[in-house]
Amino acid sequence: MSSTTAGVLFLGSLVLALVLTHRPLGDYMYRVYSGTRHTRVERWIYRLVGVRPDADQRWGVYARAVLAFSVVGVLFLYGFQRLQNRLLLSLGMDPVKPDQAWNTAVSFVTNTNWQSYSGESTMGHLVQMTGLAVQNFVSAAVGMAVAVALMRGFARRRTEGLGNFWVDLVRGTLRILLPIAFLGAVALVAGGVVQNLQDPADHTVTTVTGGSQTLPGGPVASQEAIKELGTNGGGFFNANSAHPFENPTSWTNWLEMLLILLIPFALTRTFGRMVRQPRQGYAIAAVMGLLALVSVALTMTLQAVHHGTVPTAVGAAAEGTEARFGVLDSAVFAAVTTLTSTGAVDSFHDSYTSLGGMMTMLNMLLGEVAPGGVGSGLYGMLVLAVITVFVAGLMVGRTPEYLGKKIGAREIKLASLYFLVMPALVLAGTGAAAATGHGRAGMLNSGPHGLSEVLYAFTSASNNNGSAFAGLTVNTVWYDTALGLCMAVGRFLPIVFVLALAGSLARQGHTPESDGTLPTHRPQFVGMVAGVTVVLVALTFLPVLALGPLAEGVH
């Protein structure tokens, strides 16, 4: 079998697996979030936390709970890293320095998992396991909770209540993330991912030729599974999913991609069930699938034809890829990780062909909506659907409606504000870095590729992705601080706008469909949303892309 056929089958099998899982998992999540019964463990947790699980929260209360939980998460994680040398299983690591601890804390709480540190030389086992991995669970559950609140906004009528954040958080973690992550982790161990509490210092071996090698260890499998499932992406080791102890075989590579895509796609089904029109969910899934397939196919093609000087000299875009994965499967992973908000990597994007590398950036610049991060992808796509309905309404001169809700001035303002946050952060951040010596000092490559490195960093942080053109030296006070701010604002400001939008939708009654209502479940609408997404991104980012990857890739 040729590499191309194998690559196409690899992608095809992934699509098939998603088609098969999307419905049962989506239905299950619908039952989780709309059920009224609490399990005994959950009731016990609510008592410990001190919240009343049946109290419906207004959007402002819901948003405050999200923010409070996240602020506490940042403080806790910051303190944990600063004190790690006094705790168990620190492996003798020093406290993480303040700017890096801030950056890492924000990074994991915002579901970004940008890493300016190298796991094997910075973090002890306890910080990884009970600090970073915990945020992998709960930051994902927060994203899902916000998406569910927006779904309720569309589904409910004449109410202030969007549900209860604490209930959504606990159910998402206990009933959805934990069981799937557990199964995933056991499968990964079967593939060779390590799961131990070994101190690497006790694990130095004499190699075949008589040299010495220190084998790393740690609770990797448990962290790896939730890293993918929660679209987090923070590697246990510096090399992330390229590391053989994180991703040992070609089939674990496939499994990790499936875990990444599983929940973001299935949530469209949950959405369809929530609004009691499954076909609306299929339409959203179709937009996501369309954008994703085009992007993945382009990335694979650009990597396969390996345009550019070094790839031509090599005869393949093989630099930074693992032999067991090959160029094509690595390209699929690169597209999947940037189309979602994951940011895990199984090959290094900095060494990709100029245009292949640009695809990974474009994927993030799309706003990570195809299918996006867990929860964040769905609410991002629904905001784009709202904008599309509005644009279509302008064309025919009617008050736009979506799912029986009028899209009035307040709704479209919130949707527009949501959309503007990310470009503002990316462009202002890249501009500031290019204008200051601190920003320019970090570049590894020179010329347009150096700008690409910086653009990639701010794109990744502002979109809460976490992958990198890793040549850039980001462990400096300037980058740790600036990127930390981008991650925090890029995550929480949009969340506040989404919840405000949800509140405003829930207050409305139901507007019955009329002849003038734009059907939002037909291919026409799917094409329009995809078109609006691409046009908005192209208009916003073409100039800066022309200075970076396009300048490098087009001779």
Partner 1 sequence: MRMPTWIRGHLAAVRALLVLTAVCGVAYPLAVFAVAQLPGLEDRAGGSLVSAPGGRTAGSRLIGQSFTDRDGNPIPRYFQSRPSNAGDGYDPTASSASNLGPEDVVDTLPAPGVEGAPSLLTQVCARSKAVGDLEGVSGARPFCTPDGVGAVLKVFGARAADGTVRHPARVVSADQACPAVPFVREYHGVRVECARPGEDLAAGLTVPVRGGAPSRPRVPADAVTASGSGLDPHISPAYARLQAPRVARARGVPVERVLEAVRHNRTGRALGFMGEPVVNVVRLNLELDRGVGS
CB 127, min distance to partner 1, A: 10
CA distances from residue 340 to 52, 229, 230, 365 in whole angstroms, order as listed: 34, 11, 10, 11
Phi, psi values for residue 371, rounded to 5°: -95, 0
The one-letter code for the residue type at 3 is S
Query: Quick one: 89 or 290, whose CB is closer to partner 1?
Result: 89
Instruction: Name the DSSP class of 172.
Output: I
| Closest approach of partner 1 to the CB of residue 507, in Å | 22
* CB-nearer residue toward partner 1: 135 or 341: 135
Q: How far apart are CA 3 and CA 330, in angstroms?
A: 12
Which residues are CB-neighbours of 65 under 8 A, at least 6 positions away? Answer: 57, 165, 166
Nearer to partner 1 by C-beta: 216 or 490? 216
CB of 61 to partner 1, least distance (A): 8
By beta-carbon proximity to partner 1, the closer residue of 317 and 537 is 317
Q: How far is the CB of 99 from partner 1 (least distance, A)?
A: 22
CA 17 to chain centre: 20
Whether residue 362 contacts residue 287, with contact meaning beta carbons closer than 8 Å, is answered with: no
Give the nearer residue to partner 1 in terms of CB position, either 392 or 495: 495
CB of 228 to partner 1, least distance (A): 14
Shortest distance, CB of residue 528 to partner 1, whole angstroms?
36
- Least separation in angstroms between CB 170 and partner 1: 8
CA angle, 185 as apex, 181 and 187 as ends, to 5°? 120
Provide, rounded to whole angstroms, the least separation between the CB of residue 375 and partner 1. 17
Contact 403, 520 (CB under 8 A): yes
Q: In Å, how far from its chain's centre is CA 403?
A: 26
Q: How far is the CB of 554 from partner 1 (least distance, A)?
A: 11
Minimum Å gap between C-beta 22 and partner 1 is 21
Distance (Å, whole) CA 501 – CA 513: 21
Sequence-distant (6+) residues with CB within 8 A of 134 are none
φ/ψ bin of 447: left (φ > 0), alpha (ψ from -120 to 50), beta (otherwise) = left
- For partner 1, give the closer residue by CB, 92 or 397: 92
- 128 within 8 A of 219, measured Cβ to Cβ: yes
Task: Give me the least distance between CB of 12 and partner 1, in Å please.
Answer: 9
**Residue with smaller CB distance to partner 1, 152 or 171:** 171
Nearer to partner 1 among residue 51 and residue 420 (C-beta): 51
- Cα 160–374–325 angle (5° rounding)? 175
Q: Provide CB contacts within 8 A for 10, sequence distance 6+.
A: 254, 328, 329, 332
Cβ contact 417:513 at 8 Å? no
CB of residue 77 to partner 1, shortest distance in Å: 10
Segments in 367-463 forming alpha helices (H): 376-396, 409-435, 437-441, 448-462
The CA dihedral of 324, 329, 334, 338, to the nearest 10 degrees, is: -130
Give dist(CA 54, CA 56) in Å, integer: 6
In the bound state with partner 1, the residue whose beta carbon lies nearer, of 274 and 332, is 332
Cα Rg, the chain, nearest whole Å: 23
Judged by beta carbon, residue 344 or residue 422, the one nearer partner 1 is 344
Residue with tokens 């397939």: 293
Nearer to partner 1, 418 or 458 (CB): 458
Q: Which of 182/524 has CB closer to partner 1? A: 182
Q: Which of 265, 295, 268 is nearest to 283 (CA)?
A: 268
Q: How many CB atoms lie within 10 A of CB 5?
A: 10
Nearest to 10 by CA among 221, 241, 372, 297: 297
Q: Which is nearer to partner 1, 21 or 238 (CB)?
A: 238
Q: How far is the CB of 69 from partner 1 (least distance, A)?
A: 4
